[in-house]
Amino acid sequence: MAKKTVRDIDLKGRRVLMRVDFNVPMMDGEITDENRIVAALPTIEYILKAGGRLILLSHLGRVKTEEDKLKNTLAPVAQRLSTHLGQDVVFVPETRGKAVETAVQALNDGDVMMIENTRHEDLKGKKESGNDPELGAYWASLGDVFVNDAFGTAHRAHASNVGIANNMKEVVAGFLLEKEIKFIGDTIENPERPLVAVLGGAKVSDKINVIKKLLDVADYVIITGAMAYTFYLAQGHEVGTSLVEADKLDLAHELLALGKDKLVLGQDVVTAKDFDKDSERNIRDKSAIPSDEMGMDVGPKTLENYFKYVEKAKTVIWNGPLGVFEFPRFAEGTKGFAQKLADLNESVTTIIGGGDSAAAVIQFGLADQFAHISTGGGASLEYLEGKVLPGIACVHDK
């Protein structure tokens, strides 16, 4: 079912509460990566241009102590946003009370304000993260409509998303959330085929449910990255000192049987003696990994074989790097694969989910070559598993 978006409601003169994801990385009070602020601009500018009176809410980090509270303030974010918008962003360093209410009353059409980190409410009893009903109702009372545009927290029912939505007559998605629904939700439900899923990264245990769901939905599932080694072990190969999860061997057997027509594994691997950026690089057949070496990346034959699958695909879902891409020497697989998908971007819709996979393609300078790079780590995994995310479910249907 399609969800309502900001395009579907009246905004002029109305108090618009908007949940954004401004959980930006900070170092000594300085924003080190402003991507999330920039990503929210289209929805914010749309609302302001339409004459909405905008009230922004976001969390920032975790707040467990008074010290966290001091450190995790949204004040620098409000300032940065103001620079981007070229207009004042009124920042209220409180999460409720007179100062907040006065600032809301003072808003004119096209004005924007921001309250302090919603998780400051967690200090006295998890009011935000525990979705305290009184808090959700209070925040809802500040606005006339609610826009959720925070995908990163959509897998959690917090007061600042579900709590507000429960007390609001109109609940719509912003453009970021709309895009996540279109590319992840709609693809899982009704993909353009062939759909090839590429699952890599660190651990099988993180991604069991995603593997199962995609074995169900996709036409082919490529298992790669560190988690492939548990499967190689299950196939009877020695994997040296590669990362394996011994307690997931039975599961790997089960998945190999379940996915025998769909699963794609590698033939060769790049190994090293040590987990080190300068460690010597060897190409080995997966049946000949020496006992003192570990798999660090996919081998060239494996990569060529993956290419055959994605060349025929209409849709590719990619979650998890193919190797230890943080070390340039072992980044070739991940980089080569990203470049291949970038080259195919006319014929293949590529959806990238997962924090490290996104970081990899950004690092390679290829980010704008893909249809969609998901902005949520945990949320995109749960969405790919086919779960109903509370932060999306609370948005009203068209």
CB of residue 93 to ligand ADP, shortest distance in Å: 33
**Residue 152 is a binding residue for ligand ADP (CB under 6 A):** no
225 binds, among ligand ADP, Mg ion, none (CB under 5 to 8 A by kind): ligand ADP
Residue 205's SS3 state is helix
Of residues 111-140, those binding ligand ADP (CB under 6 A):
none
Asked whether the CA dihedral 238, 244, 245, 251 is positive or negative, the reply is negative
The catalytic position among 3, 14, 36, 212 is: 36
CB of residue 368 to Mg ion, shortest distance in Å: 22
The length of the chain, given as a count of residues: 398
Stretch that binds ligand ADP, among 121-129, 231-239, 246-254, 350-358 (CB under 6 A): 350-358
CB of residue 246 to Mg ion, shortest distance in Å: 22
**Among the listed residues 240, 299, 354, 391, the single contact to ligand ADP using CB under 6 A:** 354
**Residue 201 is a binding residue for ligand ADP (CB under 6 A):** yes
Active site residue 203: yes
Q: Which residue is nearest to ligand ADP (CB)?
A: 201
Q: Closest CB to Mg ion among 68 and 356?
A: 356
The C-alpha atoms of residue 284 and residue 136 are separated, in whole angstroms, by 57
305-315 in b/e form (b: 16+ CB < 10 A) is bbbebbeebeb
**Residue 357 is a binding residue for ligand ADP (CB under 6 A):** yes
Of residues 212-241, those binding ligand ADP (CB under 6 A):
225-226
Active site residue 53: no
> What is the secondary structure of 68-137 as a DSSP string?
HHHHS-SHHHHHHHHHHHTS--EEES-SSSHHHHHHHHT--TT-EEEES-GGGGGTTT-TTTTT-HHHHH
**Residue 356 is a binding residue for ligand ADP (CB under 6 A):** yes
Q: Closest CB to Mg ion among 94 and 206?
A: 206
Written as six digits, the tokens of 279 are 């460690």
Alpha helices in the chain (DSSP H): 35-49, 66-71, 75-85, 98-105, 133-141, 164-165, 175-180, 186-189, 204-217, 228-234, 249-258, 300-312, 332-343, 355-363, 377-384, 390-393
Q: β-pairing, 145-148 with 15-19?
A: parallel
Show the site string, 242-271: x = touches Mg ion by CB under 5 A, - = not: ------------------------------
The catalytic position among 61, 130, 378, 386 is: 378
The C-alpha atoms of residue 189 and residue 94 are separated, in whole angstroms, by 41
CB 396 within 8 A of CB 171: yes
Amino acid at 159: A
Asked whether the CA dihedral 144, 147, 148, 149 is positive or negative, the reply is negative
**Among the listed residues 152, 174, 355, 391, the single contact to ligand ADP using CB under 6 A:** 355
Q: Closest CB to ligand ADP among 152 and 377?
A: 377
Task: Tell me the backbone φ, ψ of residue 282, rounded to 5 degrees.
Answer: -125, 145
Stretch that binds ligand ADP, among 127-135, 180-188, 280-288, 352-360 (CB under 6 A): 352-360
Nearest to residue 146, comparing CAs of 176, 127, 166, 130? 166
Stretch that binds ligand ADP, among 25-33, 74-82, 230-238, 314-322 (CB under 6 A): 314-322
**Residue 296 is a binding residue for ligand ADP (CB under 6 A):** yes
Residues in a beta bridge with 282: 271
Which spans of this chain sit near ligand ADP (rule: CB under 6 A)? Answer: 201-202, 206, 225-226, 243, 295-296, 319-321, 323-324, 326, 354-357, 377
Which spans of this chain sit near Mg ion (rule: CB under 5 A)? Answer: 355-356
Residues marked as catalytic: 36, 203, 355, 378
